[in-house]
């Protein structure tokens, strides 16, 4: 029993140390990674008919989109790109809500595709910035 609690505590400390030492750019990358992980988890729970666990995973993904990714959009500095990002995040949020309400894996797939593409672009920006 203690081994499991100890492992969970170690995992939390590991995540916290990554977050505390991360640059703002890396924090967004971590949000994408965790959100995509939650969507994959939700899909597995949906396939296994574990509806409560599916809802919990989608809820976590939705929190990441709304309180993390969407909240990080700076429309003052980002202009049109920020507005498009905001629209995409709102759309992904709606997809997640509909996937949850309707147990619709295709909505999860679409949300995952959009977020994967955005995450890839985000990583590319980081690589270009590091090379500059």
Chain centre distance of CA 114? 11
C-alpha–C-alpha distance, residues 96 and 75, integer Å = 23
Specify the higher pLDDT residue, 7 or 96.
96
**1 domain residue, yes or no:** no
pTM above 0.85, yes or no: no
C-alpha–C-alpha distance, residues 26 and 107, integer Å = 27
Q: Is residue 2 helix, strand or coil?
A: helix
pLDDT of residue 110: 98
Torsion angle defined by CA atoms of residues 99, 36, 120 and 96, in that order, rounded to the nearest 10 degrees: 20
**105 domain residue, yes or no:** yes
**pLDDT tier, 11 (very low <50, low <70, confident <90, very high otherwise):** very low
- CATH number, domain at 67? 1.20.120.340
What is the count of structural domains for the chain? 1
**107 domain residue, yes or no:** yes
**115 domain residue, yes or no:** yes
**73 domain residue, yes or no:** yes
**pLDDT tier, 73 (very low <50, low <70, confident <90, very high otherwise):** very high
Angle, alpha carbons 123-129-132 (nearest 5°): 145
pLDDT of residue 127: 73
Model confidence pLDDT, tens digit, residues 12-21 = 444 454 555 5
Region 100-128 average pLDDT: 94
**30 domain residue, yes or no:** yes
Region 105-130 average pLDDT: 91
Can you give the residue range of the structural domain that contains 73? 23-131
């Amino acid at each position: 029993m203690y081994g499991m609690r100890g492992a969970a505590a170690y995992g939390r400390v590991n995540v916290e140390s990554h977050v505390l030492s991360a640059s703002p750019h890396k924090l967004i990358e971590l949000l994408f990674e965790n959100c995509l992980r939650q969507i994959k988890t939700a899909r597995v729970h949906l396939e296994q008919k574990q509806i409560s666990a599916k809802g919990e995973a989608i809820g976590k993904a939705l929190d990441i989109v709304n309180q993390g990714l969407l909240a990080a959009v700076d429309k003052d500095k980002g202009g049109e790109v920020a507005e498009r990002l905001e629209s995409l995040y709102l759309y992904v949020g709606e997809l997640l809500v509909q996937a949850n309400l309707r147990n619709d894996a295709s909505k999860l797939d679409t949300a995952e595709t959009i977020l994967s593409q955005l995450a890839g672009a985000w990583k590319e920006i980081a690589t270009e910035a590091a090379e500059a």
